[in-house]
Amino acid sequence: MTYQTVIYQKTAGIAEIHFNRPERLNAVTQVLYDELNAALNQAEADNDARVIILTGQGRAFCVGADLKEHKEGRTAFDRRQYLQGQQIVCKRLMTLSKPVVAAVNGYALGAGAEIAMACDFIMMSESAQIGLPEVSIGNFLGGGVTWLLPRLVGLAKARELVFLGERIPGKEAVRIGLANRCFSDDTFLDEARAFAGQVAGKAPFSMALAKRHLTLAAETTLDAAMIAELEGMMFVGTTKDWQEGVDAFAQKRAPVFKGE
């Protein structure tokens, strides 16, 4: 597919989606939401893409809403459709069957931070900053962040991040459990790709099950989780990848999973 606001590329089992509005610091528009959702669908449908990286062209990951889009003449319906676009994208990221790595290369603010938080992993460059300024400017949060953020950093820290709206640098984001890794600016994208490559080498069916049940863990009971785990173990035991894992362990070699 041809996109206007994102770049889609694939290398060695990794689908990369780059926000491509660097002249606006990758601020989001309705078109960007629509194209991002389409690119995610493309990546999920591609059996050769085992993991997805989201990142931004230029100096920013994504600085949130493009305020030029919020001009006179937009109806309440238009605004709701735009806001719902973010909800759809963030839920898609959380429920996608493949793991998603947010490679935060610069500012990730507002909707940009919420998109990053909806991913399975957050990698940040040393100079990157992430923050939620919505309450500070009379706006409100979206993308499921009121549900997700307390699970990532705890309720007390979530309140602090939301109420104060401060920008958090990469090392601090790792320290509080918001991000997974922080890398040097010079090697950032290579390091993020290396991390994604490690994830891409795991068994696809097992990863999809693990992602689903970890994401939804807060909505279930212990008994229900254990039943789901039992069914999951029984299912993966019927796959060729399960046998490959057993054989590789016995032969003391790295497994080669094919998603079969």
Q: Which residues are catalytic?
A: 114, 134
Other CB atoms within a 10 A radius of the CB of residue 135 amount to 14
CB 15 within 8 A of CB 54: no
CB 149 within 8 A of CB 179: no
Task: Say whether 103 sits in a helix, a strand or coil.
Answer: strand
CA distances to 196, 202, 228, 258 from 233, rounded to whole Å, are: 25, 16, 9, 18
Helical axes 222-236 vs 204-215, angle rounded to 10°: 170
Query: Encoding tokens for residue 231?
Result: 């069914």
CB 155 within 8 A of CB 97: no
